[in-house]
Amino acid sequence: MIVALFGNDRQASKSRYVAGILAALRASGFGICVERRFARFVSKDLGISLDGCEVFEEMPPGVDMAVSVGGDGTFLSTAAAVGLCQVPILGVNTGHLGFLADVAPERAADAFRAVAAGQYVVERHTLIRVIVDGADCCVQPYALNEVALLKHDNSSTIDVTTTVDGELLTNYTADGLVVATPTGSTGYSLSAGGPVIVPRAAALCLTPVAPHSLSIRPVVLCDDVELSLKVRSRSGNFLLAVDGKSLSLPDTVRVTLRRAAHTTGVVKVFHKAYFDTLREKMGWGGTNF
């Protein structure tokens, strides 16, 4: 079994587990290839040997699983790098929250042994395809978490005229609009007042950011719709953010969002129930009644 290793290459203090992860992968019999930027960080900044590991720029053929070492942001970057390959991703969490990257570094060796023994499941997560004026978005064509259209360059609100399958939904006057998948419902959308959506729901959530009108609330839609978004801004531009990667665009363009034809696979080895994870990560009470 061949594993492609990705990781956070900006915080050496959080990468102290990398040597153990590499050793655990080798002990479980995995062949290892390492993404070039992370490989440079591991060998030069951390001084860890990558002997026997292949270094790659783009996903090589024959990879069975990707391993993301970092937080949920690193997991999202890994999902973007995996792209259309349909290789499932296991996340080792050296970050903070860890909804997607949910394997603690101390349990990484157990997780790799479980994968080697076939004791895991792969959850399929919906992606949003991002189209700008008829072409795939150049900053990133797919979003696992969310797409956000945000004000840019000044403090004025923007107007986002939103249609669903050609039918007008509303004109949002706000600091921005977040369109989230169920995976991303616990991210930016949640912080803006959106609902938590269970991962298996076939839904998208539209959450305005600081809307001008108190009557504007998040809207949950079926995920088989096509959304058309047209921004009007006093500055003449806006910020398009796709899973945290942003691009400044003129407000003359139209952004179209639809469910992608492919999904992202998330490897689960310890099979923790989603609601257990939710209570733990959100700090909710248990059975105090």
Helix (H, G, I), strand (E, B) or coil at 35: strand
CA-wise closest residue to 4 among 92, 50, 70, 68: 68
The one catalytic residue in 9, 45, 64, 72 is 72
Residues near 135 by beta carbon (within 8 Å), at least 6 away in sequence: none
Long-range contacts of 113-117 (CB under 8 A, 24+ apart): 113/28, 114/269, 114/270, 115/1, 115/28, 115/65, 115/90, 115/267, 115/269, 116/1, 116/28, 116/29, 116/30
Rounded Cα distance, 41 and 39, in Å:
5
Query: Has 159 been annotated as catalytic?
Result: no
- CB atoms under 10 Å from CB of 11, counted, come to 14
**Could you tell me the end-to-end alpha-carbon distance of the chain, in angstroms, rounded to an integer?**
48
252 phi, psi to nearest 5 deg: -85, -10
Rounded Cα distance, 121 and 104, in Å:
17
CA-wise closest residue to 128 among 193, 183, 172: 183
Q: How far is CA 70 from CA 19, 147, 236, 270, in A?
A: 14, 22, 37, 18
CA-wise closest residue to 125 among 259, 276, 8: 259
Question: Where are the alpha helices (H) located in the chain, listed in sequence order?
Answer: 18-27, 36-40, 72-82, 108-116, 188-191, 274-282
- As annotated, the active-site residues are 72
